[in-house]
Structure 1
Amino acid sequence: MSDPAIEAVKRAVAAPCIGSDEVASVREALKPIRELHKPEVVRSPDDEQWTECAVCYGAYWPCATAKLIYTTEELES
């Protein structure tokens, strides 16, 4: 399981064991970025549809930023 918040805390404190307070802090810091980089369904005039990032114009979902700020589970659902 990949969780960007946990990975960021590990890098920040260089410790193998982290607590829920640290993870919650990082998630709070990522919240404004997550509100921007989110999936958006796009439809063409001939009714084809696909998913793009809401702010990365023309980038398929998940964009490069989304891969850094969402857990693997969130991206798969």
Structure 2
Amino acid sequence: MSDPVIEAAQRALDTDWLEAEDIAEAAAREALAPLKDIHRPVPVAQGPNCCDHCGDVWPCETGYHIYTDKELADE
């Protein structure tokens, strides 16, 4: 059985990060990547974008937790 946390940490350690905080940030980004694949904005012809996964107005509640403010502003 796979462990997503261990897999994300391994991917982060495979980079050339030198500082512990850089490794921690990279690991967190790797762990959130699968959620970003499913919680993403989808254009709607009439009205605001919605979340591809939950159908809520974008950004959805999960989107606020997994995207940076800059990423949300660029959407």
Q: Tell me if TM exceeds 0.5.
A: yes
Displacement after TM superposition at 1:42 (Å): 1.2
1:53 aligns with 2:55: no
Question: How high is the TM-score relative to the length of structure 1?
Answer: 0.66
Q: 1:62 aligns with which of 50, 59, 63?
A: 59
How do 1:33-44 residues align onto structure 2 when only pairs under 5 Å count?
A: 33-43=35-45
Higher helix proportion (structure 1 or 2): 2
Structure 2: gaps spanning 5 or more residues: 1-19
Q: Give, in angstroms, the shift of residue 49 of structure 1.
A: 4.0
TM-score, normalisation: structure 2: 0.68
The structure carrying a bigger strand percent of its residues is 1
Could you tell me which runs of 5 or more consecutive residues in structure 1 were left unpaired when the two chains were aligned. 1-17
Give the Cα–Cα distance (whole angstroms) in 2 for the partners of residues 19 and 41 of structure 1: 36
Among all aligned residue pairs of Structure 1 and Structure 2, give the percentage whose two residues are the same amino acid.
36
What's the C-alpha RMSD, in Å, of the aligned pairs? 1.2
Structure 1 stretches of at least 4 aligned residues deviating more than 3 Å after TM superposition: none
Aligned length: 55
Q: Which protein, 1 or 2, shows the higher relative CO under an 8 Å CA cutoff with sep ≥ 6?
A: 1
